[in-house]
Chains A and B, each alone.
Chain A
């Protein structure tokens, strides 16, 4: 069955770089048409799509954050990574990875990230 799971630092200080990992199983990112996205949700608020990477290694970013985001995948096509540079308090949120080229049929459980000094 398809599963995704996010992992990250939990808490980090402003101006640092946030590194997140999405580990998944039940599908391969090498399959044509497959895409994994990162989406975040501040507590009590709506969802914001951040970035995606597809089976061919093409990357897509939300223009509002593009200068700070880097999405990548491992060579075994079972993990996707997201780096966010220069974090501040506004980056405090639950971060999800999800499968899907357009809409998202499988989501991870999310990892909560708090930016605090």
Chain B
């Protein structure tokens, strides 16, 4: 299985700040990567697919980048509604696997 290592596990940031979350794959996943946001008690919501494509309706302050084994999710100008957990997922090879998650809180 491809292992997905996410960092940091938790993050505290101020409103308006730029936040970056990293995801490292155990092998090259050729941009087969998605990012999800999950608010407490809710199901995950797709943010980014193909490493850098913004899903319909997702605010443009979210962006994804990376290649090979290293990927990142950036949130510009943090808003209060961005407080959530974030997960990466690789879909280059079965079984699809997820990162351990990053919990984002407001400072």
Contacts from A to B (Cβ < 8 Å)? 37, 45-49, 60-64, 96, 102-105, 107-110
Cβ-defined contact, B43 with A102, below 8 A? no
- What are the residues of chain B within 8 A of A47 when measuring CB–CB? 44, 87, 89, 98
Name 26 interchain pairs, CB-CB below 8 A, sorted by A: A37-B96, A46-B87, A46-B98, A46-B99, A46-B100, A47-B44, A48-B98, A49-B95, A49-B96, A60-B94, A61-B95, A63-B1, A63-B95, A64-B95, A102-B34, A102-B91, A103-B49, A103-B91, A104-B34, A104-B36, A104-B44, A104-B46, A104-B89, A105-B55, A107-B45, A109-B42
Cα of A57 to Cα of B98 in the assembled complex, Å: 25
Cβ-defined contact, A46 with B101, below 8 A? yes
Cβ-defined contact, B94 with A105, below 8 A? no
Interface size class of B (residues with CB under 8 A): 20 to 34
Where chain A touches its partner, the secondary structure class is loop
Contacts from B to A (Cβ < 8 Å)? 1, 32, 34, 36, 42-46, 49, 55, 87, 89, 91, 94-101
Cα of A110 to Cα of B45 in the assembled complex, Å: 13
Closest to A51 in B: B95
- What are the residues of chain B within 8 A of A48 when measuring CB–CB? 98
- What are the residues of chain A within 8 A of B1 when measuring CB–CB? 63-64
Cα of A104 to Cα of B36 in the assembled complex, Å: 9
Cβ-defined contact, B46 with A105, below 8 A? yes
Closest to B100 in A: A46
Closest to A61 in B: B95
Beyond A49-B98, A103-B91, A109-B42, 14 additional contacts (C-beta under 8 Å) are: A37-B96, A45-B101, A47-B87, A47-B89, A47-B98, A49-B95, A49-B96, A96-B43, A102-B32, A103-B34, A104-B36, A104-B44, A105-B55, A107-B45
